[in-house]
Amino acid sequence: MDRAGLLLVGEWSEGTMLTSDHITAWINRTAGVLRDNRTCLTALDSAIGDADHGNNMDRGFKAVLEKLPDDRDIGVILKAVAMALISRVGGAAGPLYGTMFLQAAKALDGKTELSAGDVEAMLKASVDGVAIRGGARAGEKTMLDSLIPAHEAFREARAGGADLTACLAAAAAAAEEGMKATIPLIATKGRASYLGERSRGHQDPGATSSYLIIEALHETAVEAGA
Ligand SMILES: Nc1ncnc2c1ncn2[C@@H]1O[C@H](COP(=O)(O)OP(=O)(O)O)[C@@H](O)[C@H]1O
Ligand SMILES: [Mg+2]
């Protein structure tokens, strides 16, 4: 095979990548979306929690934006996100989202651009990290009810040959469905579990913020043409 042929094969198998600039754009977009949805997330948390989730996430990502490093290493960028969330967000969401971004950072250590395979590894590490830190599984009315289906849909789309943006479209759609599917669930973890049966009929705030974060990544990829 000639050189041009080899290059073409390489491009075809790798697909388009997300660069460190795209990851920084994702974090900025997430901060904006969480700011815009602050009241809505807090209203959801007022029904089954203590009415602070919107403020927690907005405050956390404001701190994230102050600390975002100008670095090519995506591991370094995501670790800074994790540290800002851990130090600025109290309650359940701070340590859980901190763990999510810390595990993502570890999975992508040293990388300056991400293939669909790298994003799948990031999602898996994030989901596993949150599950271990919070001791929760699918169906307990938590952020995992968006994150687990998102990872699963991404994995299936990639196995079927979809490109990065299409994989993220599938992940975001699954996260949205998972978020809505928390409405009839009874919470068995976190503050909402104190309500028992009365937690039924309300959408979980953490599943909602997780969907918004995944959707922001999808939109970033669409904009990047990845
Ligand atoms: N053990 C857990 N595992 C995963 N997610 C959890 C757990 N406990 C709580 N959560 C998530 O955290 C969200 C609440 O976050 P937040 O209101 O910021 O914290 P707090 O409950 O401490 O007030 C819930 O909606 C739920 O999705
Ligand atoms: Mg709360």
- Give the start-to-end residue ranges of the domains of the chain: 17-224
Neighbours of ion ligand 2 (CB under 5 A): 45, 49-50, 52-53
Residues with CB under 6 A from ligand 1: 45, 49-50, 52-53, 56, 91-93, 96, 130, 134-136, 142-144, 189-191, 204-207
CATH code linked to domain 17-224: 1.25.40.340
| Mean pLDDT within 134-145 | 98
E strands in the chain = 18-19, 113-114
The DSSP code for 190 is S
Q: Which pLDDT value is given to residue 12?
A: 43
Look up tokens 């960028």; give the residue.
77
Q: Whose CA is nearest to atom 7 of ligand 1?
A: 190
Residue to substitute in 42, 53, 212, 213 for testing ligand 1 pocket (most ligand atoms within 8 angstroms of CB):
53
With cut-offs at 50, 70 and 90, classify the pLDDT of residue 9.
very low
Q: Which pLDDT value is given to residue 11?
A: 43
Atom of ligand 1 nearest to the CA of 94: 18
CA distance 64 to 89: 11
From 15-24, 34-43, 80-89, 129-138, the region with the lowest mean pLDDT: 15-24
| Mean pLDDT within 10-35 | 85
Residue to substitute in 41, 45, 145 for testing ligand 1 pocket (most ligand atoms within 8 angstroms of CB):
45
Q: Whose CA is nearest to atom 3 of ligand 1?
A: 134
Closest CA to 148 of 164, 128, 133: 128
If you measure from the C-alpha of residue 222 to the centroid of ligand 2, how many angstroms do you get, rounded to a whole number? 32
pLDDT greater than 60 at residue 198: yes
Q: What is the pTM of this model?
A: 0.94
Q: Which pLDDT value is given to residue 91?
A: 87
| Mean pLDDT within 36-62 | 97
If you measure from the C-alpha of residue 208 to the centroid of ligand 1, how many angstroms do you get, rounded to a whole number? 11
CA distances from 218 to 89, 112, 130, 163, 171 (A): 25, 19, 20, 12, 8
If you measure from the C-alpha of residue 143 to the centroid of ligand 1, how many angstroms do you get, rounded to a whole number? 7
* pLDDT, tens digit (0-9, with 9 covering 90-100), for 51-82: 999 999 999 999 999 999 999 999 999 999 99
Q: Whose CA is nearest to atom 5 of ligand 1?
A: 142
